[in-house]
Amino acid sequence: MIHLNQTGYLPDAAKIAIITYSCDTFLLKDSKTGQIVYEGATKPYNDEKPDEASGDIVYHADFSSFGKEGTYILQAGQSVSSPFSISRNVYSKLKTDLIRSYYFQRCGCALDAAYAGRFVHGCCHTAPAALFDDPSTKLDLSGGWHDAGDYGRYVTAAATALAHLLYAFILFPDRFLEPLNIPESGSTTPDLLNECRYELEWLLKMQRSDGGVFHKVSTWHHAPFVMPEFDTAPLYAYAVATPATADFAAVTALAARIFAPYDNDFSEKLKAASLLSWEFLQTHPEFIAFSNPPGSGTGEYGDSSDRDERFWAAAELFFLTGEARFLDSFLVLYMEDFSKTALGYAAVGGFGCLSFYINPVFAKVPTAEDTTAIPVALHIPGWTDDYIARMPELLNIRENIRGDFLAAAAHRAALIPQNAYLVAMQKSDYCWGSNMTLLNNGILLILGFLLTGNNEYREAALSSLHYLLGRNATGYSYVTGYGTRSCRHPHMRTVFADGIDEPIPGFVSGGPNAYLSDEFGKRHIAEGTPPMKCYLDEYACYSLNEVTIYWNSPAVFVTAFFDAKS
């Protein structure tokens, strides 16, 4: 087969297709006219030795120097590739659909045909939730986004998705100006923020009056494969936990800062909620973990520490309020031993560092010559003379943060030439939700580029998109609706039950998982299958083919970065 990015390539970027059979030359043809536009020789990868991650012996067809916009197919021997585009806007529509996926995950309302087209659903999950420890107490926890293929709503997962989306907005605000055709479109607030607000309004309901935050609201077991309005089992507000509480404090502070110019009242509400959760964390310095009550079966989202979540909250509250107590906590926690580059749902240290690094109090004015300056255009209060005196100390921390991000980017970039599919992944990365690792690597590589101006990092980041969109050993594009061979049967209740053949477009599948954690996968994937091939496009495969809000969000970050308008 010929594996390439089935959506396509930017004109100025490297363009390499991967061929899994022996051939010497290849042709690039205009997909409509059949006219040959480019010819080249293939290059055997690694002396025709099988690749560890995929098991494949491959040949690379490099047509990087061809940059004319159009739609093409690549032919090598008798086989032809999927058609793909070369265009400056090649990721625009994809970016929009990746963001619109959040509208399709809205809970607590009906999806209207005006916005959802064929993919409507009725109003769901509006019944009050019973407090798990005291079921006679009922709470309104309606709203927010369904987490994934299931209908649970989980705070740490929500905070992660919001973090990817909101930091992308801070870094590249000009990529989020197009209307998304959601109910709030037409307001003066960018639609990405309107969509995030839907989640934030729900998040605010998850806070208890003492500032503690419920870990999740869900039924006792996952629903059967029915549309959400038919999932009427009782809802529970599960226990308060400190990772959820600290994530809540972090992301509401971040959102308060971002929403201030658009809606001051909402911003103030977010700020007050964030401060209240911070107070809870101060009176509960101990780690309050969450684990599923015995016999229950919805998502657990366990964690082994809350130090990184507290760290992220301290960073955001410092930049929101300018108060020294938050800076002091941030500096103490920074010295502790947790990943400073992780951007996941259990490890969030990277969000705290990113927040600190990109804050405008440190930013230089960007110029054409100096690509290391990061453009940020948000209002930040509280920068006083005291901090100017502490600047050398802060700049020192910032330099360390830069070093950590660069080390992570360099480590990831170095993996690319070591595997046949030229992706920044190692064997152990092919676990449940491997596409999140893939896309978070894309973010780290984008940061590598922004911090150095080194184009190799930009190319390396693109390799994550190429893999996601088809240049991988299964040949699937892991985004529904994108590519001629994209996944069509994601483990997603709405997509299964809506009676429509096509999946809703714009959802990222979890991707290959060598640990095969679901029954169908275990039965149908042979032992010893190389990790990159441990994938099936099957509804039953929740450990290979589910979707989640925090797998779409790093994809939004990466596509938004590459969707530059100039």
List the beta bridge partners of residue 134.
Answer: 131
Under the binding rule (CB under 5 A), the answer on residue 107 touching Zn ion is yes
What are the backbone angles phi and psi of residue 108, rounded to the nearest 5°? 85, 10
Q: Which x/- pattern, by CB under 6 A, does the window 328-357 give for ligand 9MR?
A: ------------------------------
Which letter does DSSP use for residue 120 in this model? -
Pairing of strands 129-131, 235-237: parallel
148 binds, among ligand 9MR, Zn ion, none (CB under 5 to 8 A by kind): ligand 9MR
Residues 212-241 touching ligand 9MR, rule: CB under 6 A, are none
How far is Cα of residue 204 from the mean position of the Cα atoms in its chain?
22
491 is catalytic: yes
432 binds, among ligand 9MR, Zn ion, none (CB under 5 to 8 A by kind): ligand 9MR
Contact pick of 125, 271, 471, 533 for Zn ion (by CB under 5 A): 125
Question: Using an 8 Å Cβ cutoff, are 441 and 447 in contact?
Answer: no
Residues binding ligand 9MR: number (CB under 6 A) = 12
Task: Report the alpha-carbon distance of residue 61 to residue 466 in Å, rounded.
Answer: 14
Contact pick of 97, 150, 303, 308 for ligand 9MR (by CB under 6 A): 150
Active site residue: 51, 97, 147, 150, which one? 150
List the beta bridge partners of residue 121.
Answer: 111
124 binds, among ligand 9MR, Zn ion, none (CB under 5 to 8 A by kind): Zn ion
Question: Using an 8 Å Cβ cutoff, are 128 and 232 in contact?
Answer: no
Q: Which is nearer to ligand 9MR, 433 or 505 (CB)?
A: 433
Active site residue: 125, 164, 215, 491, which one? 491
Contact pick of 144, 173, 350, 433 for ligand 9MR (by CB under 6 A): 433
Residues 457-486 touching Zn ion, rule: CB under 5 A, are none
Q: Which residue has the tokens 């790093």?
A: 554
Q: How far is the CB of 183 from ligand 9MR (least distance, A)?
A: 25
Question: Using an 8 Å Cβ cutoff, are 497 and 48 in contact?
Answer: no
Q: How many helices (H) and strands (E) does the chain have?
A: 15, 15
Task: Report the alpha-carbon distance of residue 165 to residue 559 in Å, rounded.
Answer: 11
Q: Which is nearer to ligand 9MR, 43 or 221 (CB)?
A: 221
Question: Using an 8 Å Cβ cutoff, are 308 and 349 in contact?
Answer: yes
Q: How far is the CB of 229 from Zn ion (least distance, A)?
A: 8
Question: How many Cβ atoms from other residues are within 10 Å of residue 221's Cβ?
Answer: 12
478 binds, among Zn ion, ligand 9MR, none (CB under 5 to 8 A by kind): none
Q: Which is nearer to ligand 9MR, 353 or 544 (CB)?
A: 544
Question: Using an 8 Å Cβ cutoff, are 357 and 405 in contact?
Answer: yes
Q: Which is nearer to ligand 9MR, 35 or 517 (CB)?
A: 517
Contact pick of 51, 56, 147, 316 for ligand 9MR (by CB under 6 A): 147
Taking CB under 6 A as the binding criterion, the range among 142-150, 226-234, 379-387, 526-534 that sits at the site for ligand 9MR is: 142-150
Under the binding rule (CB under 5 A), the answer on residue 124 touching Zn ion is yes
Q: Which is nearer to ligand 9MR, 5 or 156 (CB)?
A: 156
Provide the token pair at 188: 């003066």
Question: Using an 8 Å Cβ cutoff, are 173 and 185 in contact?
Answer: no
Position closest to ligand 9MR via CB: 299
Which letter does DSSP use for residue 428 in this model? G
Which residues have C-beta within 8 Å of that of residue 499, sequence separation ≥ 6? none
Residues 276-315 touching ligand 9MR, rule: CB under 6 A, are 299-301
Strands ordered across the beta sheet of 235-237: 134-139, 129-131, 235-237, 216-218, 153-154
Under the binding rule (CB under 5 A), the answer on residue 173 touching Zn ion is no
Q: How far is the CB of 143 from Zn ion (least distance, A)?
A: 9
Question: How many Cβ atoms from other residues are within 10 Å of residue 376's Cβ?
Answer: 16
Q: Which residue has the tokens 């290979």?
A: 544
Contact pick of 546, 552, 556, 557 for ligand 9MR (by CB under 6 A): 546
Provide the token pair at 414: 């170095």
Q: Which of 449, 450, 467 is nearest to 458 (CA)?
A: 449
546 is catalytic: yes
548 binds, among Zn ion, ligand 9MR, none (CB under 5 to 8 A by kind): ligand 9MR
Q: Which is nearer to ligand 9MR, 31 or 218 (CB)?
A: 218
Q: How far is the CB of 421 from ligand 9MR (least distance, A)?
A: 22
Helix locations, 299-384, DSSP H: 307-321, 324-334, 349-358
Under the binding rule (CB under 6 A), the answer on residue 548 touching ligand 9MR is yes
7 binds, among ligand 9MR, Zn ion, none (CB under 5 to 8 A by kind): none
Q: How far is the CB of 532 from ligand 9MR (least distance, A)?
A: 18
Which residues have C-beta within 8 Å of that of residue 20, sequence separation ≥ 6? 1, 2, 3, 56, 57, 58
12 is catalytic: no
Contact pick of 119, 169, 330, 432 for ligand 9MR (by CB under 6 A): 432
List the beta bridge partners of residue 548.
Answer: 148
Q: What is the DSSP string of 231-261?
A: --SPEEE--B-HHHHHHHHHHHHHHHHHHTT
DSSP run (H or E) holding 362: none
Under the binding rule (CB under 5 A), the answer on residue 398 touching Zn ion is no
Q: Is 71 helix (H, G, I), strand (E, B) or coil?
A: strand
Under the binding rule (CB under 6 A), the answer on residue 478 touching ligand 9MR is no
Contact pick of 228, 442, 470, 530 for Zn ion (by CB under 5 A): 228
Taking CB under 6 A as the binding criterion, the range among 29-37, 81-89, 144-152, 261-269 that sits at the site for ligand 9MR is: 144-152
Q: Which is nearer to ligand 9MR, 19 or 487 (CB)?
A: 487
Which letter does DSSP use for residue 230 in this model? G
Q: Which is nearer to ligand 9MR, 31 or 292 (CB)?
A: 292
Residues binding Zn ion: number (CB under 5 A) = 4
Active centre residues (catalytic) = 150, 491, 537, 546
Residues forming the site for ligand 9MR (CB under 6 A): 147-148, 150, 152, 299-301, 432-433, 542, 546, 548
Residues forming the site for Zn ion (CB under 5 A): 107, 124-125, 228
